Amino acid sequence: MKKFFLTVFGLLCFIPLGLHAEGPEELFEQANTAYYKNQLKNAEERYKQLIAGGISSGDLYYNLGNVYYRQGEFGEAIQNFEKALRLNPRDADVRANLKFVEQKRVDNLGETFASSFFRIFFFWYSYLTLKELILAFTLFSGLFWGLAWLNLLFHKSFFRWGAALFFVISLVIGSSTWFKYTVEGLQTWAVIVKPEVEVRSTYLESSGTLFKLHEGSKVRVIDYQKFGEKDAWALMRLPEGQKGWVRLEELGII
Amino acid sequence: MRKTLFLIVCSFFLAGIQTAQADVSVSASVDRAQATLEDEIYLTVTVRGVLTGSSEPVLPPIPAFKAIQSGTSSSIQIINGNIETKKEFSYILIPKDEGTHTIGPISVLAGGREYKSRPITIQIGSAGPVPRQNLPSLGKREDVVPQAEEGGKEYWMTAEVSNADPYVNEQILYTFRFFTRVNVGGAQLTIPEFKDFWSEEVVPEKKYYKTIGDQRYVVSEKVIALYPLKSGSLEIPETSLRLEVPDDARGRFFNDSFFNFPTMKMKQKNLRAKPILVSVKPLPPGKPENFTNLVGQFGLSVNLSNPEIKMGDSTTLNVELSGQGNVKDGVLPLKAELPAFKTYDDRPAVDTVKSETGIQGKKSFKKALVPVQSGEFSIPPFSVSYFDPQKGTYESLTSPSLIVRVLPSEAERLNPVTARSSSDSAVKESPVIAEDIATIHTDALALESQQWGTGSKALVFAGLFFPPLLFLGTLAFQKYQTQKRENASVYRSRTAWYHFQKKVEKLSRSREKGDKVLEELTDSLRDYVGDRCGIYGRGLTVADMTGHLEERDAGRDLTAKFGQLMQQLESSRYGGEAQKKQAFEWINEAKNLVRAIERKIKR
């Protein structure tokens, strides 16, 4: 009897292996091959399949951005390059491709004061991922507390000065981390993915058009209104503060 | 014994059953052989001797009646050991035609054989007359088909239409009325299916009193609006009312409302109104182009919610079609293109008012106009055509021309989006950096997920919170230790006098004498100074003690006296001068001196 259960258990353990005939590596290979063969829809589906399978990789988003660009969908390309940049901010290819595709953008929306401030005075901010910033903050704050602790025990000026130094470093990295977390974790950003979008004064098709935006423009989403699956609206804000409603389907959330 | 008895009883029953099945009879009877069209006849089919395997009775075709099965009952009787089973099937027969009608043999299948009842003959007469009446006015009275004859009657019903020769789509009213001057119950009205008409109930049920001749009647009324869907001779089938009325056999005296007992014997009646023929006329030729089958009398009103708007705002064009007739069929007549606007139609709203004179109502159309350019624009007039059945002609309603002024909006001035151009500084700052995008990444590392794992999160949390917790824990521990030390010293200082007093009092009460008293007294004084200063007192010299007391602001005189006392005590103790003073004198002196020092220090 015991043998029977062990056999059944063993078989059950092997069933999942049989179900995963196409591993991520194979899918990735197929997607890359499809891209090179210009079978872009095929490549798009496979990259999406990998991402949907739980692999959140900057390289995958980057490749998907390339696929969209090749298909002439600049909005989706920018959306995916932005996602890739969040994960691989020092990747020269991602930066170059994003900059290249952004040149095709029609609208010139400017930049918020906070982002320009951080870009200038916290230059490392855009070269580090949120994960790296958190790790750096953890390290330096740990050093600060460690030295402060040693000072508490031994009352040596070396420890005191060391703690003060790491406190300042932690403060700078902590504020960068908080800003990055606010932008990437708390706020929702999106890219216009339709050639031209009418921004309305309210979430009704019949409401007046305030202005128009074009594909690739990056906006911040601050509210949603959903009236069923096919009628969803997003309230977006431009860097200079203007607000308006667009259909959710016209946005690609970063 | 019991088993044997059971077998005997079973055998007895089986034998009985066999006997019963062998003798089957079917009989049919009616509660009356003569009736009127308003009466109901109860038919009972009785099957005897059949227990199992028998079918339900099969009635022969009886076109003169409508048969409704009303129930079954069965019974078993054992008389002198003979078992007789009986099953009764009840039917209600509602007469349809006058005359003498025969119900053929009713058959029942039992044990593979067919058993039949004898035929029954029933004579059906016409319904009784109703009194002359003054019906409430309703449209064209001459079109009402009278169903009443002269003479007195307790109850009757009528069904009529307001117009027997309407046009297609013209509203006519079908009115059902039931008159009664006796109490009736269990009324079930069967309104015909108006299959060639579109119908809508106007008055669900209304009751009022009406005096006809010298009798007061209660009248129940129901009105339905009908719109003929096609021309020609259309029939509205008969309307029937099934109800319970007092049985005349109980005598007139008890029909008085005074004797309206709940147990009054009632009988079923079926009243019917004859079918009504309506001759529907087709609409005359020459229909206008914009005619949309509206028949009745209508009006048109058109307005704009705001004739002057800014770009980005919207205005609403309100069109209201109202009147009596099939207003529901109205459509928004505005067909013209409005190139200066984007238009959005709302769902039309229909609001009707139902009364005895028919259905009146309005259909509202709303069209949102969102300007796409500023300026002054005209909404051209539009017209609605309908057929007026009273005049017998097609009529037309025309809207006025409306003007909308669209002002440049703030949104235009505030439009934050500027298109890039060759002269745009943003473009200058970012010259073309390449001819094409960089190619895809094919490294297998691309498949490494960059999301936080659970372990990483735990490590980061530990790294973030452990060091400060360690620091704060150590700090708290150090603080606690210091405080504990400080607290102990303060406590001793505050309670030094108290403890000294206790020791001295104890010494006074003891029977110790001589050196022992001096020893304990000097120790108590040392303990006092030690407690007062938060140090160990027993090891202090006289000089140490006076020094500490001076530090505590005990005053030079008192400190000096304290020193002298200590020296005297020690001299007496070690030099044999104990006899100079009695023990209690030393004790009192020490006590007074320490009290003075305590006061001085506390000040």
Task: Name the domain boundary from B280, B314, B337.
Answer: B280
The answer to whether position A10 is within a domain reads no
Q: Do B420 and A211 touch (CB under 8 A)?
A: no
With a CB cutoff of 8 Å and minimum separation 6, the contacts of B41 are B30, B31, B32, B35, B65, B92, B93, B94, B95, B122
For residue B111, the 8-state DSSP code is T
Indicate if the pLDDT at residue B87 is higher than 90: no
Domain check: are B241 and B310 in the same one? no
Q: Is the pLDDT of residue B417 over 90?
A: no
| Candidate from B146-150, B175-179, B488-492 with smallest mean pLDDT | B146-150
Cα separation of B147 and B156, whole Å?
9
Bridge partners of residue B309, in order along the sequence: B406
Shortest distance between the Cα of A6 and any Cα of chain B, in A, equals 32
B166 and B257 assigned to the same domain: yes
CA dist., res. A143 & res. A136, Å (int): 11
Residues 6+ apart with CB under 8 A from B287: B385, B394
Does the pLDDT of residue A13 top 50, yes or no? no
What mean pLDDT do residues B521-539 have? 88
Check residue B429 and give its pLDDT: 40
| A79 occurs within a structural domain | yes
Nearest-angstrom CA–CA distance, B131 and B511: 138
Residue A184, amino acid: E
CATH code of the domain containing B210: 2.60.40
pLDDT higher than threshold 70 for residue A7: no
Radius of gyration of chain B (CA): 59
Residues A181 and A222 both lie in one domain: no
Whether B154 and B59 share a structural domain: no
- What's the pLDDT tens digit per position in B186-208? 888 888 888 888 888 887 787 88
Average pLDDT of the segment spanning B211-215: 78
Which CATH number goes with the domain that contains A94?
A: 1.25.40.10
- Mean pLDDT (whole number) for B506-515: 78
Residue B460 lies in a domain: no
Q: Is residue A1 part of a domain?
A: no
B366 touches chain A (CB under 8 A): no
pLDDT of B149 > 50? The answer is no
Same domain for A34 and A81, yes or no, is: yes
Residue A5 lies in a domain: no
DSSP B90: E
- The verdict on a CB contact (< 8 Å) between B447 and A57 is yes
Q: A93 contacts in B (CB within 8 Å)? A: 438, 441
**Structural domain total, chain B:** 4
Q: Which two tokens stand for residue A65?
A: 């951005």
Domain boundary residue among B231, B248, B280?
Answer: B280
Residue A6 counted as domain residue? no
Task: Determine contact: B460 vs chain A, CB below 8 A.
Answer: yes
**Based on the domain organization, do A152 and A192 belong to the same domain?**
no
Residue A120's pLDDT is 77
Query: A148 and A92 in one domain?
Result: no
Confidence of residue A10 (pLDDT cuts 50, 70, 90): very low
Q: Is residue B427 part of a domain?
A: no
**Structural domain contains residue B474:** no
B residues 12-41 near A, CB within 8 Å?
Answer: none
Judge whether A66 is closer than 8 Å to chain B, CB to CB. Answer: yes
Separation between Cα atoms, residue B67 and residue B45, nearest integer Å: 13
Of residues A55, A142, A209, nearest to B463 (C-beta): A142
DSSP B334-365: --S--TTEEEEEPPPEEEEEEETTEEEEEEEE
Q: What is the largest CA-CA distance in chain A?
A: 75
Q: Do A28 and B444 touch (CB under 8 A)?
A: yes
Q: B180 and B61, same structural domain?
A: no
B81 Rama sector, left if φ>0, alpha if ψ -120 to 50, beta otherwise: left
- pTM as predicted: 0.41
Q: Residue window 154-193, chain A: list those with CB within 8 Å of chain B.
A: none
- Put simply, the answer to whether B411 touches A99 (Cβ < 8 Å) is no
Q: Is residue A2 part of a domain?
A: no
B590 touches chain A (CB under 8 A): no
For residue A141, the enclosing domain spans 114-186
* Residue pair B55/B80 in contact by the 8 Å Cβ criterion: no
**Nearest residue of chain A to residue B431 (CA atoms):** A103
What CATH number should be reported for the domain holding residue B19? 2.60.40.10
Q: What is the mean pLDDT of chain B?
A: 78
**Residue B166 CA: distances (Å) to CA of B163, B170, B235:** 6, 6, 13
Q: Please check whether residues B306 and B345 belong to one and the same domain.
A: yes
Torsion angle, alpha carbons of B190, B194, B199, B203, to 10: -30
H helix count then E strand count, chain B? 8, 29
Instruction: List the one residue out of B146, B138, B240 whose CA is nearest residue B193.
Output: B240
| Cα–Cα dist B27/B44, whole Å | 8
Provide the number of structural domains found in chain A: 3
| pLDDT recorded at residue B81 | 64
User: What does the pLDDT read at residue B137?
Assistant: 37
| Residue A76, Ramachandran bin (φ over 0: left; ψ between -120 and 50: alpha; else beta) | alpha
Going by pLDDT thresholds of 50, 70 and 90, the confidence category of residue B446 is: confident
Please indicate, yes or no, whether residues A153 and A197 belong to a single structural domain of this protein. no
With residues binned 3-state (H G I as helix, E B as strand, rest as coil), the percentages for chain B, rounded to 5, are 30, 35, 35
Domain that holds residue B80: 2-125
pLDDT of B481 > 80? The answer is yes
Chain A residues with CB under 8 Å of B449 CB are 54-57
For residue B436, pLDDT beyond 80: no
Show which of A102, A126, A152 is a domain's final residue.
A102
The strand pair at B120-125 and B34-36 is best described as parallel
**B358 assigned to some structural domain:** yes
| B530, amino acid identity | G
B487 interfaces chain A, CB cutoff of 8 Å: no
Q: Verify that A27 and A96 share a domain, yes or no.
A: yes
Domain boundary among A162, A186, A210: A186
As given in the structure block, the two tokens for residue B529 are 């100074």
Last residue of one domain, picked from the residues B383, B410, B437: B410
Side-chain half-sphere CA neighbours of B146 within 13 A: 13
Q: What's the burial of B521, exposed, middle or buried (CB within 10 Å: 0-12/13-18/19+)?
A: buried
B159 and B254 in a common domain: yes
On whether the CB atoms of residues B207 and B193 are closer than 8 A, the answer is: no
Whether B473 is covered by a domain: the verdict is no
Q: Say which residue the tokens 């059953």 belong to.
A: B17
Cα dihedral A159, A160, A161, A165, rounded to 10, equals 90
3-state secondary structure of B35: strand
Mean pLDDT calculated for residue range B419-428: 41
Verify that A232 and A181 share a domain, yes or no. no
| DSSP structure class, residue B53 | S
- For residue A181, is pLDDT > 70? yes
